[in-house]
C-alpha cells in the first residue's frame, strides 16, 4: 500500500529535474523574476562592460534612495559574462 511517501529515488529524480529546469532558465539573456512579492527583480546575463552599463542605467532610472535598488546577486560565468539580478521596489512614495 502506498502511503503517499516518496522514495529517496523519486526525490532525487525530482531534484535533478528542477535543477535542470533552473539551468535552462539562467541561460536566457534577460529574465524577469517577479514572484508576486513587493520586490521587482530582473536577471541579466551580459558581457562585463554591458553589465556595468545596464546597472548604471537601472540606478539612474530607479535611484537607490527612493526605490531601494540593489544588485541582489551576481557571478562571473565561464565565458567572461556577468550574470546579475537587480531588485527594486515597484514605486517610490
> Among positive and negative, which fits the CA dihedral 85, 57, 52, 27?
positive
pTM over 0.75: no
pLDDT digits (tens, 9 = 90+) for 30-70: 555 444 568 899 999 999 999 999 999 999 999 988 899 99
Residue 40's pLDDT is what?
92
> What would the pLDDT profile of 62-92 be if each residue is shown by its tens digit?
998 889 999 999 999 988 899 999 999 987 6
What domains does the chain contain, in order, with CATH numbers? Answer: 29-93 (3.30.30)
Amino acid at each position: 500500500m502506498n502511503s503517499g511517501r516518496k522514495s529517496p529515488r523519486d526525490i532525487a529524480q525530482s531534484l535533478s529535474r528542477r535543477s535542470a529546469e533552473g539551468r535552462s532558465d539562467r541561460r536566457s539573456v534577460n529574465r524577469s523574476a517577479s514572484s508576486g512579492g513587493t520586490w521587482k527583480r530582473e536577471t541579466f546575463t551580459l558581457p562585463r562592460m554591458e553589465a556595468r552599463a545596464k546597472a548604471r542605467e537601472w540606478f539612474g532610472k530607479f535611484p537607490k534612495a527612493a526605490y531601494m535598488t540593489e544588485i541582489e546577486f551576481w557571478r562571473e560565468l565561464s565565458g567572461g559574462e556577468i550574470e546579475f539580478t537587480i531588485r527594486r521596489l515597484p514605486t517610490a512614495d
